[in-house]
Amino acid sequence: MASDAVHDLNSLISSEGRDFLIRNNGDQVKNSSLIGKNVGLYFSASWCPPCRGFTPVFAGVYEELASKGDFEVVFVSGDNDEESFKDYFSKMPWLSIPFSDSETKERLNEIFEVSGIPRLVVLDADGKVSTEDGVRIVREHGAHAYPFTSDQIKFLKEKEEEAKRNQTISSILVSTSRNYVISNDGNQIPVSELEGKLIGLYFSVNGHEPCDEFTPTLVEAYKKLKEKGENFEIVLISLDDEDEDFKEAFKTMPWLALPFKDEKCEKLIHYFELGDIPTLVIIGQDGKTLNANAAELIEEHGIDAYPFTPEKLEKLAEIQKAKLESQTLESLLAFGETKFVIGKNGAKIPVSELVGKNILLYFSAHWCPPCRAFLPKLTEAYNEIKQKDKDFEVIFISSDSDQDSFEEFFSEMPWLALPFVDERKKFLSRRFKIEGIPALVALNQSGRTVSTDARKLITAHGADAYPFTEERLKQLEEQLEEEAKGWPEKLKHQLHEQHELVRTRRSSYVCDACDEMGYSWSFFCEECDFDLHPKCALENDGAKKEKEGWVCEGDVCRKA
């Protein structure tokens, strides 16, 4: 966002006794030569991986704009030593504040409130800030964003919307300098040969665990579709930072790719509004986007998801609904010869012995701080529930990275587990769409899913949440509503004396007294974003009760 402040460029980049900037060959350039130009202040450092990734992209854009003669960039280094600065600066075609001038660098960081790098602040010819979000703009639009004004960005977004309406596979993949994609044996294949095919654009990073796990599944599906003679192709859009990583991953893939660090890679991230990886964008035979991300469909259904049309997805949804309706504990946990869970000392308990019980599937890991923090609360609830109902059990599904960590964490638990190496873990994570841990999935006595958010229920209600059904949740809400009627609408508390706390409905929050999650009701200060659990707010030594007939505000109490 551009600010209304106008800066004197010469004052910004000069210091006492220095009226010049430097090039990476040591040449000095007078600060006055930048007057009347659009100037980018580039805050960056060699120790910062995102900076190292962005600098080559920005250098390419700079070279494109150099011929205009009215744009310059000044590097404001965040490096810790001169050797690192020189090595990093040697890769930059623009100017820099001398490394030794720490006072000017600190001043620029303060003026533009730099809290993260890389950061690109662009000033126009009059010293007014055109944008403080230059890094994102360069990534999304490249040299076309120049002169980085809000009007230019608006114009580009309008063009982008028009391009989406008229999208073709060529408009997606072809650049001004390239009209081909590559195979992993080095051949160039014209993009025109992809016209009329169903195309999957595969956004991936080598070494990123979800991508590494998904790629073999996609390879298998791709080969099966090719064997069937389907008119289908995949193009890798690599987001790797290193050429070696790109080559290592691409050699395992039987499909095509954009060249490493191609200018289109960054632009397509923005164009398709990429939120996560791996992502498989499906482009229809008409060149229009058919599915924004078919990765999950491939994982769940394999080639049965092909050709990813709305009609096919509707059929898959019906199949999935039927699976859920017929779900049993054995259909979830009995795979081939693997029909058991384990107890302490590795004892094998047949899944058949758990049929007819209410079950919690506990997705967790020792390395995860929220998991370790949640374990005592879950253990307390487990013990309390078991005293009331023996037909209840918890099964730990570990995301630990090694056997020792699994065993250490499992030793703290009074329940059962899947073995550390077990194919069912991946299946269950995908089945219940586990995106974060700790997570608790509740199954009823017939094996049907009653809640995929039982962690929230345990946190809010403890053992009282059992058996985690909608009916039980409704009962608890009604009880809480009735209880809340006896609470004051407002109160003062010694932990937050500057404002009154108001009884407020809150979907979720962290209590500022006990640091635990809270749900439903809070005593809340909106101005300070301060929350207290009702139990914390209403403790006798915390809440300050006002005398009847008096109202207290700040440091004064007055008669009502």
274 versus 544: the higher-pLDDT residue is 274
Dump pLDDT digits (tens) for 347-397: 999 999 999 999 999 999 999 998 998 999 999 999 999 999 999 999 999
Contact 367, 405 (CB under 8 A): yes
CA-closest candidate to residue 376, choices 462, 250, 256: 462
Has domain 169-321 been given CATH number 3.40.30.10? yes
What CATH number belongs to 9-157? 3.40.30.10
Instruction: Kindly give, in sequence order, each residue whose CB lies less than 8 Å from that of residue 346, ignoring residues fewer than 6 positions away.
Output: none
* SS3 (DSSP) at 22: strand
Sorting pLDDT into bands at 50, 70 and 90, what band is 447? very high
Judge residue 73's burial from the number of C-beta atoms within 10 Å of its C-beta, 0-12 exposed, 13-18 middle, 19 or more buried.
Answer: buried
**For the chain, what percentages of helix, strand and coil (3-state, to nearest 5) are there?**
40, 25, 35
Query: What contacts 252, CB < 8 A, 6 or more positions away?
Result: 215, 219
Q: Do domains 169-321 and 329-477 have the same CATH topology?
A: yes
Fold of 329-477: Glutaredoxin (3.40.30)
**Cα gap 112→114, rounded to integer Å:** 6
pTM of the complete model beyond 0.75: no
Tokens of 339: 């029909």
Residue-level pLDDT at 551:
47
Contact 121, 129 (CB under 8 A): yes
Query: Which has the closest alpha carbon to 74: 117, 125, 123, 111?
Result: 123
- pLDDT tens column, 431-442: 898 888 999 999
pLDDT in tens, 60-82: 999 999 888 899 999 999 999 99
**Rounded Cα distance, 487 and 505, in Å:** 13
**Per-residue pLDDT for 559 more than 60?**
no
Q: Please choose, from the candidates 62, 64, 61, 91, the residue with its C-alpha nearest in 3D space to the C-alpha of residue 267.
A: 61
Q: Are β-strands 198-204 and 232-238 bridged in parallel, bridged antiparallel, or unpaired?
A: parallel
DSSP-derived letter for residue 188 is: E
Looking at residue 175, the DSSP 8-state letter turns out to be: B
**Tokens 């095919």, residue located:** 197
- Ordered by start, the domain boundaries in the chain are 9-157, 169-321, 329-477, 486-538
